[in-house]
Structure 1
């Protein structure tokens, strides 16, 4: 398997899961600063020009959440997701879609507010970013409440899984906010439990990421 990644990007959650699974894989660095994600070679893998892409034999897969779900199904022995057809699996789908479609989407508005306004309108972009951060704070409160109510150490209870990898990635993206995820009463200790996992440490080391990690 090959994972096309950029440090700290949306490839982080799939990279973490590959570290957890322990099967051989190759990291393929995509230099965003040089526009490699827009190169003809990369666009043949992902016509959206976004990172990550997973190549698994004949399968070429993009969208971080889809890659995470695929890895859970591809390696059931890693126990990264509940069995298909169970209520727990349905709950996993709910949270993976919420994380990717709601929280991640709003985080992208914070990072790239200029995409939502007329070119060169700095004041409008600043307003978009401010509104996005306000919405993200409300979403982090919901996430904090879910951790508190889970009945275990992890987002969905006693078992660590793909939703935790995805949550770590998105919470890291808030590390420079006025109130980052680590300052919420339940998310803070939860993120420290995640950072204590050996696979998380290997992922951060491989990507060369520095403190603050979350």
Structure 2
């Protein structure tokens, strides 16, 4: 049995994985879906100091408390790619595989801000009255909340690269309405033979738009 650790993207909570988590559990796997500090149902914990390190620590603590499994598959959606990269770097002995679900793939010293396009960066700058919350897009789920700006700006610090893990998958959504801010990450790994790269018919929320193909990819990634 594998334990899938599911990390949402900006402004979203673990609820965005509800259907996916139920399907994976139906296949006999464990699932830990986690809402990051300062976001969604944990929005009351938001403050100016919540950053990428906060979110990495969130997941490390949740994994330590909820599972002793050493066969973890980390799945990060969008911004969640930053988080799973940091988590994997800190507990490499427990991580078997990583799946970047239309997500950022950072290298040491890079931030979310650096990896996305100008359109995405403009959204980050449209902070709310708090001065540190990036408001959800109008088309986001009603449960979405502002996202801590500092988590987009902080550079990740890594001690190793992703090649030490058995398997790395990148799942790219083909139906962005314009230029995808995840395209630079996709192009970073697309031609690397050590990665498994998938292009799926669907918009950014592939959990909703193409759940069947996504489940197939995740189950395959879990096979040792």
TM range (shorter): 0.3 to 0.5
In the superposition, the TM-score normalised over structure 1's length comes to: 0.34
Q: Which has the higher strand share?
A: 2
Larger Cα Rg: Structure 1 or Structure 2? 1
Q: Which has the higher helix share?
A: 1
